[in-house]
Chains A and B, each alone.
Chain A
């Protein structure tokens, strides 16, 4: 299924969790910091930045996380497996040309950007960035999608 997307967001909602999806909008380096060092993933304008709130909650932190990545180029810090801080993360983010949602991983502990921690309701969902929007496949039934405009630039 194709869903159009400009510089705003798509919010994909399940009853108690959600994903927020934005396009990268520009070419930028995404720095991924792990205990083993730094790797840099180049993002293209049509690539996706997807924030996931596996336990639900307010939407704004997810939108802000998308902007921290795509607008301000903040690095992603990856926790080691089993790190106690994992359970403190209410929102996690991945960025790249295609992202698969998985429910069997610990929040914030996987550096590979084609995989994003999500709730059971999104299991199997795959999002791909395409010109003018996103392509969704493997979407479980019952998800709702709505569009939101981009957050304003710095005041």
Chain B
């Protein structure tokens, strides 16, 4: 079986309300990679 998959994962841009970090997140529960807060906003 061969499986096709994308080499590039497309995420959404987020900004953390607690530390200001901007990051590209995937999945239903974005978490800040710097302070681990889930208080993030899509930008």
Contacts and interface: CB of A to CB of B under 8 A. Distances in A.
A112 B31 contact: no
A113 B36 CA distance: 19
B43 interface: no
B6 A112 contact: yes
B5 A115 contact: yes
A73 to B, nearest CB: 8
Interface in A19-39: 27-29, 31-32, 34, 36-39
Interface size class of A (residues with CB under 8 A): 20 to 34
A47 to B, nearest CB: 9
B39 to A, nearest CB: 12
B26 A41 contact: yes
Contact of B26 (A28, A39, A102, A109): A39
Contacts of A39: 9, 11, 24-26
Interface string B1-43: 1110111110100000000000111111111110010100000
25 contacts: A27-B31, A27-B38, A28-B31, A28-B36, A29-B36, A31-B33, A34-B7, A34-B8, A38-B33, A39-B9, A39-B11, A39-B24, A39-B26, A40-B11, A40-B30, A41-B26, A41-B27, A42-B25, A97-B28, A102-B1, A103-B1, A105-B3, A105-B5, A110-B7, A112-B9
B7 A40 contact: no
B7 A42 contact: no
A9 to B, nearest CB: 23
Residue from A42, A115, A123 with most neighbouring chain B CB atoms (10 Å): A42
